[in-house]
Amino acid sequence: MDFVHQNFWLIIMTVTSGVMLAFPKLLGSVGGVPEVDVTQAVQMINHENAVVLDVREPGEFAAGHIANAHLVPLGQMKDSIKTLEKYRNQAVVISCRSGNRSGTACGILRKAGFTRVYNLSGGMIAWQKAQMPTVK
């Protein structure tokens, strides 16, 4: 007990930093949008015929994207729901530059009733860091 009293602030800081590190994962689970890493995304594309939606802007997309990805800029996602209906029951991996915009896009599709939506964790930054091919 003396240890706890003498190191109270150190223990509080350790617990707080642990919670802060775990928070993004907990938030992702609570939001109901699972994330996939690059390896999982490739497996889904190759084995489950997953559709890849890229929610970046046209200039970003033109600079390099995942092969066969469909460009649907985040700002146009809500207006594109009807066009995307054909993928409703298919696995959909959503990518952007870093994984933030794609997380928002996942939420939009989930609200529209898409159940197999996955956020590419780390986005195109992670894809390129893993030395995966891109198409221009």
Which residue, 67, 70, 78, 136, is CA-closest to 112? 78
Which two tokens mark 31?
A: 């939001």
pLDDT given for residue 23 in this prediction: 58
CA pair distance 126, 32, nearest whole angstrom? 22
pLDDT given for residue 111 in this prediction: 94
Q: What is the pTM of this model?
A: 0.77
Which comes out higher in pLDDT, residue 104 or 29? 104
pLDDT, tens digit (0-9, with 9 covering 90-100), for 56-80: 999 999 999 999 999 999 999 999 9
pLDDT, tens digit (0-9, with 9 covering 90-100), for 3-62: 767 887 877 878 777 766 665 555 544 456 899 999 999 999 999 999 999 999 999 999
